[in-house]
């Protein structure tokens, strides 16, 4: 009976906390009169169940669309245990993304904060973040790097394809991770195939499972297991950085470790080494999650829209004929494939791999007549903008040709198209991501024809295919 009484006591405390929080919010609304309207939902749960449920439907924005129709394009709610203001307005989102540091700071669920650590890139602000962002961006955009990484990506793609057979289904979602993770670890630390790469991939798969989980670190919990995997990875990464620092001085900048060693200030103790190692591990996320998801979604959408696949094949076969089947492709060859770039843009728009950006206001701020109170979280919903029928005609239809009609090119400067974020935190790897997608699609469509089995997209907690997108392939004779 004692544990039951304790549970009731805890529930009573939480209900009081929720009630006082709601009253405080209501008094603030009354005082200012401009805080967005909305519904905070049930005590404790808020509207979390509705929010999660829409991630398992064919309409990933149904939660946002319903509340937008009731309260307007900016509204308040309570999801994942947090009272938030949600923006589905591209102009409001633009302000939130561009006013980094002086008005808004990063805000992420506790599980992510725990997993990434105190010095995470996600939580960096001010001069440190700007310097790191500039260093990484400059390195990833350099012609020398692009020339070298183009060959590495081609090799990785062909090596993966060499394992495919016509006798059994190919699970695209698993296969593309063999390409992307290998490439990204090479970009970060120049690690090739071998024991270290296999170890990092195995431990990273365990680590990343904790990104969306209950923030409980007791032995046996998901977060505890992920943190332990991170510690094992840190030992390997620290060893690599120490060896590089001791042996490779003056040998040039060949990867991200070299960039950080040559340009970032190092402290008096070994704390800088751990911080650098944690940041390197964090940078592996695109290789395991975002980029392979984009590749998988591209195959899914092309399978469902044969006209787009036919046009993509025509363009890429033309490039292959012009190259006369040689291997002297350059990164400019791939990025100049206009329709291929439209396919990539449309894939990113529809897949919405990064569905929202979370920020916290450090002071009261007024945007377009909406008051966002100090200490409130703001969720800039990128998905809502990408799937808005007032911005994109027939938004649920895969239509790469729309990018020709709207004249947006790659769309990276358009605040209605923000798959890589925006402002000071715009992903520095934009061109690398597009290059890798371009190379993958080129070699896929010019090597294989395929038929995809029936599969469904799931949007929560991350975007993925329910059955990992199995396909049956046939080799194209050229």
Q: Answer whether residue 447 shows pLDDT above 50.
A: yes
Task: Write the pLDDT tens digit of every residue in 3-28.
Answer: 333 433 333 433 443 444 444 444 44
Phi-psi region of 465 (alpha: psi -120 to 50; beta: other; left: phi over 0): beta
From 383, 401, 431, the end of a domain falls on 383
Q: Classify residue 418: in a domain, yes or no.
A: yes
What do you get for the CA distance between the two ends of the chain, in Å? 76
Same domain, 83 and 140: no
Task: Write the pLDDT tens digit of every residue in 400-420.
Answer: 999 998 764 444 347 899 888
- Find, among 75, 53, 62, 125, the residue nearest to 376 by Cα: 75
State the pairing for strand pair 104-106/356-361: antiparallel
Segment 136-165 mean pLDDT: 93
Q: Classify residue 218: in a domain, yes or no.
A: yes
Same domain, 181 and 280: yes
Percent of the chain with pLDDT strictly greater than 70: 88
Same domain, 369 and 422: no
pLDDT for res 164? 96
Same domain, 326 and 419: yes
Q: Classify residue 119: in a domain, yes or no.
A: no
> CA–CA distance from 292 to each of 112, 202, 408 (Å)?
21, 16, 24
Is residue 329 within 8 Å of 472, Cβ to Cβ?
Answer: no
Same domain, 214 and 361: no
Same domain, 11 and 160: no
How confident is residue 270, by pLDDT bands cut at 50, 70 and 90?
low
How confident is residue 250, by pLDDT bands cut at 50, 70 and 90?
low
User: In the block, which residue shows the tokens 């690599």?
Assistant: 240
Same domain, 242 and 275: yes
- Of 175-189, 260-274, 373-387, which gets the smallest average pLDDT? 260-274
Same domain, 229 and 133: yes
Q: Classify residue 116: in a domain, yes or no.
A: no
pLDDT for res 411? 42
How confident is residue 395, by pLDDT bands cut at 50, 70 and 90?
very high
pLDDT mean across residues, the chain = 85
Q: In what order do the strands lie in the sheet with 104-106?
A: 74-79, 82-87, 377-381, 356-361, 104-106
Is residue 363 within 8 Å of 371, Cβ to Cβ?
Answer: no
Same domain, 213 and 98: no
The structure's pTM equals 0.87
| Spatial distance between the Cα atoms of 364 and 154, rounded to a whole number of angstroms | 50
Q: Classify residue 120: in a domain, yes or no.
A: no
Same domain, 373 and 438: no
Segment 201-229 mean pLDDT: 88
pLDDT for res 306? 97
How confident is residue 176, by pLDDT bands cut at 50, 70 and 90?
very high
Same domain, 247 and 371: no
pLDDT for res 8? 37
Range of the domain at 368: 2-109+356-383
Same domain, 362 and 326: no
Q: Classify residue 118: in a domain, yes or no.
A: no
My answer on whether omega of the bond before 364 falls inside 30° of 0, hence cis, is: no
Task: Write the pLDDT tens digit of every residue in 53-77.
Answer: 888 888 889 999 999 999 999 999 9
Q: What is the DSSP letter of 476?
A: P
User: In the block, which residue shows the tokens 């105190």?
Assistant: 118
| Spatial distance between the Cα atoms of 444 and 88, rounded to a whole number of angstroms | 36
Task: Write the pLDDT tens digit of every residue in 155-172.
Answer: 999 999 999 999 899 999
Q: Classify residue 159: in a domain, yes or no.
A: yes
Segment 365-371 mean pLDDT: 91
Number of folded domains that form the chain: 2
Axis-axis angle for helices 290-304, 306-322 (nearest 10): 110
How confident is residue 298, by pLDDT bands cut at 50, 70 and 90?
very high
> CA–CA distance from 171 to each of 200, 204, 446, 467 (Å)?
22, 20, 19, 8
Axis-axis angle for helices 256-263, 271-282 (nearest 10): 150
What are the start-end ranges of the E strands in 117-163? none
Is residue 36 within 8 Å of 74, Cβ to Cβ?
Answer: yes
Is residue 454 within 8 Å of 469, Cβ to Cβ?
Answer: no
| Spatial distance between the Cα atoms of 38 and 76, rounded to a whole number of angstroms | 5
Per residue in 189-221, is it b (16+ CB within 10 Å) or e — as a string?
Answer: bebeeeebbeebbebbebbbebbebebeeeeee
Token representation of residue 337: 């494939």
Chain Cα centroid distance, residue 117: 18
Contacts of 453 (CB under 8 A, 6+ apart): 169, 467, 469, 470, 471, 472
Is residue 205 within 8 Å of 288, Cβ to Cβ?
Answer: yes
Evaluated on CA atoms 440, 441, 442, 444, the torsion sign reads positive
Whichever domain contains 373, its CATH number is 3.30.43.20
Q: Classify residue 117: in a domain, yes or no.
A: no
Task: Write the pLDDT tens digit of every residue in 79-102.
Answer: 877 889 999 999 999 999 887 667
| Spatial distance between the Cα atoms of 32 and 104, rounded to a whole number of angstroms | 20
- Of 255-259, 267-271, 428-432, which gets the smallest average pLDDT? 267-271
Whichever domain contains 254, its CATH number is 1.10.630.10
| Spatial distance between the Cα atoms of 423 and 279, rounded to a whole number of angstroms | 20
């Amino acid at each position: 009976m004692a544990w039951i009484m304790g549970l009731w006591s805890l529930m009573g405390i939480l209900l009081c906390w929720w009630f006082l929080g709601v009253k405080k919010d209501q008094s603030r609304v009354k005082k200012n009169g401009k805080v967005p309207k909305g519904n905070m939902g049930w005590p404790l749960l808020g509207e979390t169940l509705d929010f999660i449920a829409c991630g398992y439907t064919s309409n990933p924005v149904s939660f946002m669309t319903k509340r937008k129709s009731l309260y307007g394009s900016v509204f308040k709610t309570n999801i994942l245990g947090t009272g938030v203001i949600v923006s589905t307005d591209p102009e409001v989102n633009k302000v939130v993304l561009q006013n980094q540091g002086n008005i808004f700071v990063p805000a992420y669920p506790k599980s992510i904060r725990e997993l990434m650590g105190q010095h995470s890139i996600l939580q960096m602000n001010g001069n440190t973040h700007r310097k790191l962002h500039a260093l990484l961006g400059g390195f990833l955009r350099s012609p020398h790097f692009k020339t070298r990484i183009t060959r590495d990506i081609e090799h990785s793609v062909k090596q993966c394809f060499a394992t495919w057979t016509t006798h059994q289904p190919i699970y695209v979602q698993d296969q593309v991770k063999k390409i992307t993770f290998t490439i990204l670890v090479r970009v970060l630390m120049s690690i090739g195939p071998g024991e270290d790469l296999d170890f990092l991939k195995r431990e990273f798969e365990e680590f990343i499972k904790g990104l969306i989980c209950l923030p409980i670190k007791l032995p046996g919990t998901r977060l505890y297991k992920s943190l332990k995997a991170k510690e094992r990875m840190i030992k390997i990464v620290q060893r690599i950085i120490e060896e590089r620092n001791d042996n490779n001085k003056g040998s040039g900048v060949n990867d991200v470790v070299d960039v950080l060693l040559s340009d970032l200030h190092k402290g008096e103790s070994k704390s800088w080494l751990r911080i650098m190692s944690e940041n390197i591990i964090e940078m592996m996320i695109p290789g395991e999650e975002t980029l392979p998801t984009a590749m998988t979604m591209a195959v899914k959408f092309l399978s469902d829209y044969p006209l787009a696949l036919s046009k993509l094949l025509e363009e890429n076969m033309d490039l292959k004929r012009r190259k006369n089947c040689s291997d002297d492709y350059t990164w400019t060859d791939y990025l100049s494939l206009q329709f291929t770039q439209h396919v990539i843009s449309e894939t990113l728009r529809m897949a919405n791999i990064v569905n929202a950006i979370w920020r916290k206001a450090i002071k009261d701020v007024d945007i377009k007549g909406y008051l966002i109170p100090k200490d409130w979280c703001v969720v800039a919903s990128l998905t809502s903008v990408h799937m808005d029928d007032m911005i994109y005609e027939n938004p649920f239809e895969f239509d790469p040709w729309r990018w020709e009609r709207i004249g947006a090119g790659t769309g990276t400067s358009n605040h209605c198209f923000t798959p890589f974020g925006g402002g000071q935190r715009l992903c520095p790897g934009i061109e690398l991501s597009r290059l890798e997608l371009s190379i993958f699609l080129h070699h896929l469509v010019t090597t294989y024809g395929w038929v995809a089995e029936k599969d469904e997209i799931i949007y929560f907690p991350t975007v993925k295919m329910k059955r990992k997108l199995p396909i049956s392939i046939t080799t194209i004779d050229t």
